[in-house]
Amino acid sequence: MSGFHGATPIAAALNTVRETLARLRSVAELADRYADIVALDSLEDLIHAPVMRKDDMNVALECLKPKASQGATWTFQSGGTTGAPKLGYAPTGLYMAEVYDYWKPLGPDDVFVNGWGAGKLWGAHYLMGAYADLAGCTGIGLGSITRDEYDYWLEFFADRRITSIGGTPSVLRPIFGRARELGVKLPDLRSVLWLGEAWNPGLDEDLPAVAPDARRWGLYGSTETWVVGTNTPRCAADTWHPLPSQLVHIGPDRMLDFTSLKPNGLNPVLRYQTGDAGEWVTCPCGGSDRALRVLGRLDGEVKFRGVLFLNVDLLVREVTGRPGVSQVQLVITEDTIAGSTLEVLVVPTRDAATDLTERVRAHLLATFGGPNTAFHRNPEALVVRRVEELIHNERTGKVATLIQRHRT
Ligand SMILES: [Zn+2]
């Protein structure tokens, strides 16, 4: 079985990859890396090409300054949630025609609310705008809204009988949580479109109460690769069907790399590693082809006070499942003198108990505070705090599960 998995006809794919290779070789700082790959007779030969990371892409884009052959060349920014921001490019349409061929959550009768933040170089709002154009639906450009605006907008959604809403899961969660508290019903809502983060299982609790017929429809990708894969309500939330223009490879360390097979793609995406790990699986939807299960970043385990390896995702999931908890975030502050502290920030639900923080803390100590852990020896190192909202990226609304800070 081929190590590189894609569905574009081989001759066209090879042409595109050869062109990308030539562009990368023309970048003085990268020329040496690609000097040895002279012949590319099959896509399997890509195994000899080095993987690219964000810094390599940035060097290449600075030198190549891509321009679309038709229409506008749009500049977007990626990163900024957990790393340094970088610029990337896309032509008018943002390559969404291919997505529309394979993914159909919207049709002409839909009333779609675009809840991704607009502007500030983030692509998601425009990406879904381009998709809405193709679907021919009625669009409502919501952008990002603040908590004190939720009630007004929820009333508006009910009045307009919206059938679809899209946004980053951590932005959608408190909106649906508020709708549930208010008793707002959105009986016409059929689809919840999401991209930018993993699906938030908390939405599975709120949606049945607010919009029982709503189902999730996801897109997976990055600003460099654009959309890599799609999923439908019948797929697992972490499992994606790659588009034909995406050649996907999984390294021995399970790290994913992507090669663009789009003719005239602007970003030179050749064995580009986004930092996500993954594996090939059979999707529960019954699609005959292999599907890509994305495991996220494998750097989910961190050292705390020298002994404890915290599994961040596990801990966040554990707390999110507690009664009265709406959202959770971990903040580790490293202090060389006083020792590190772990703060668990908790956004409560409206009906949360007044002693929520004490309850969460006791649960965490009972679950993770065994005799050999840092919490057992230094109980003051664990702090649970009730907050109105989590620390988030102002631009995209994305919430990192873990924030690490140093105090010297
Ligand atoms: Zn599937």
Closest CA to 125 of 196, 224, 186, 71: 196
- Report the C-alpha dihedral over residues 90, 96, 98, 103, rounded to 10 degrees: 150
Give residue 294 CA to ligand 1 midpoint distance, Å: 13
* CA 250 to ligand 1 centroid distance, Å: 19
Token digits of residue 209:
């109460």
Higher pLDDT, 38 or 15: 15
Mean per-residue pLDDT for 70-86?
74
Question: Is 352's pLDDT higher than 50?
Answer: yes
The Cα 43–Cα 15 span in angstroms is: 10
The CATH superfamily label for domain 88-296 reads ANL, N-terminal domain (3.40.50.12780)
Summarize pLDDT for 257-267 with one digit per residue, the tens.
999 999 889 99
What does the alpha-carbon distance between residue 242 and residue 219 come to, in Å, rounded to a whole number? 10
Measured in Å, residue 258 CA sits from the centre of ligand 1 at 20
Q: List helix spans (H) across 198-244.
A: 202-210
Among the ranges given (51-65, 208-222, 360-374), the one the predictor scored with the smallest mean pLDDT? 360-374
Q: What secondary structure letter does DSSP report for 148?
A: G
pLDDT at 47 over 50: yes
Distance 281 CA to ligand 1 centre (A): 10
| Tens of pLDDT, residues 133-157 | 999 999 999 999 998 999 999 999 9
d(CA 17, CA 48): 13
Query: What is the whole-number distance in angstroms between the Cα of residue 230 and the centre of ligand 1?
Result: 8
Confidence of residue 372 (pLDDT cuts 50, 70, 90): low
Taking the centre of ligand 1 as the mean of its atom positions, its distance from the CA of residue 102, in whole angstroms, is: 12
Other CB atoms within 10 A of residue 82 CB: 15
Report the Cα 122 to chain-centroid distance in Å. 13
Q: Looking at residue 329, what is its pLDDT? A: 93
CA 207 to ligand 1 center in whole angstroms: 21
Distance 249 CA to ligand 1 centre (A): 19
pLDDT at 56 over 80: yes
Q: Can you give the pLDDT at residue 1? A: 40
Q: Indicate the DSSP class of residue 41.
A: -
Mean pLDDT of the chain: 89
| Ligand 1 centroid, distance to 292 Cα (angstroms) | 9
Structural domain spans, the chain: 88-296, 301-407
CATH of 301-407, one of 3.30.300.30, 3.40.50.300, 3.60.140.10, 3.50.50.60: 3.30.300.30
- For residue 166, the model assigns a pLDDT of 98
Percent share of the chain, pLDDT over 70: 94
pLDDT in the model for residue 299: 58
What mean pLDDT do residues 348-371 have? Answer: 86
* Cα torsion 175, 180, 183, 185: sign: positive
pLDDT at 131: 98
What whole-number percentage of the chain has pLDDT above 90? 61
174 has pLDDT over 80: yes
Say which residue, 371 or 98, is predicted with more confidence: 98
Which residues, including other chains, have CB under 8 Å from residue 93's CB and lie 6 or more apart?
Answer: 71, 130
Stretch 304-310: mean pLDDT: 68
Q: Can you give the pLDDT at residue 320?
A: 84
The rounded Å distance from CA 217 to ligand 1 centre is 11
Q: What is the distance in A from the centroid of ligand 1 to the CA of 268? A: 28
To the question of pTM greater than 0.95 for the whole model, the response is no
CA angle 231, 237, 242 (to 5 degrees): 35
408 contact partners, CB below 8 Å, separation of at least 6: 335, 336
Entry field: residues in the chain? 408
Take residue 276 and report the two structure tokens written for it.
Answer: 């996500």
Q: What are phi and psi of 191, to 5 degrees?
A: -135, 140
